[in-house]
């Protein structure tokens, strides 16, 4: 049950696009189409932004998109806004009713 690998931090200017990667193994990310992404503002609960690799829950901005290739999933945020500044966590199914999260990425909007 090793954690998925995410960059500790990323940054971008308003209006730009950024991508956060999430690297796992062939036992988790690479084996299932069940990667989710969560946004978490300081002191708040996580909020689902992407599920099943690339699906967006209702109410989530179309500026958020997800993808997966091999053992790596990615979250892209386009048209960065100040309110996007938060921590982002990826999570993948790892089989047999087990799940694994990444270490989290701090997004700074410059």
Does residue 58 touch another protein according to CB under 8 A? no
**Chain centre distance of CA 93:** 14
* Strand extents, DSSP E, the chain: 9-12, 18-23, 35-40, 47-50, 64-69, 72-77, 86-93, 99-101, 105-109
CB of 45 to another protein, least distance (A): 5
Does residue 101 touch another protein according to CB under 8 A? yes
**Near another protein by CB under 8 A: residue from 12, 48, 56, 85:** 48
CB of 103 to another protein, least distance (A): 4
Residues 66-95 that bind another protein (CB under 8 A): 87, 89, 91, 93
Nearest to 105, CA basis, from 57, 53, 27, 46: 46
The dihedral built from the CA positions of residue 28, 25, 84 and 76, taken in this order, carries a sign that is negative
Which residue's CB is nearer to another protein, number 16 or number 96? 96
Does residue 24 touch another protein according to CB under 8 A? no
| Interstrand relation of 99-101 and 18-23 (parallel, antiparallel or unpaired) | unpaired
Positions in the binding site for another protein (CB under 8 A): 1, 3, 34-36, 38, 40, 45-46, 48, 51-52, 57, 87, 89, 91, 93, 96-104
């Amino acid at each position: 049950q090793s954690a998925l690998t995410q960059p500790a931090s990323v940054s971008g200017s308003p209006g730009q696009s950024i991508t956060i990667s999430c690297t796992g193994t062939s036992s988790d990310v690479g084996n299932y189409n069940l990667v989710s992404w969560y946004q978490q503002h300081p002191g708040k609960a996580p909020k689902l932004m992407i599920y099943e690799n690339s699906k967006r829950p209702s109410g989530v901005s179309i500026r958020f998109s997800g993808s997966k290739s091999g053992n790596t999933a990615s979250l892209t945020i386009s048209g960065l806004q100040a309110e996007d500044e938060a921590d982002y966590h990826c999570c993948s199914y790892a089989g047999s009713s087990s799940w694994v999260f990444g270490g989290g990425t701090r997004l700074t909007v410059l």
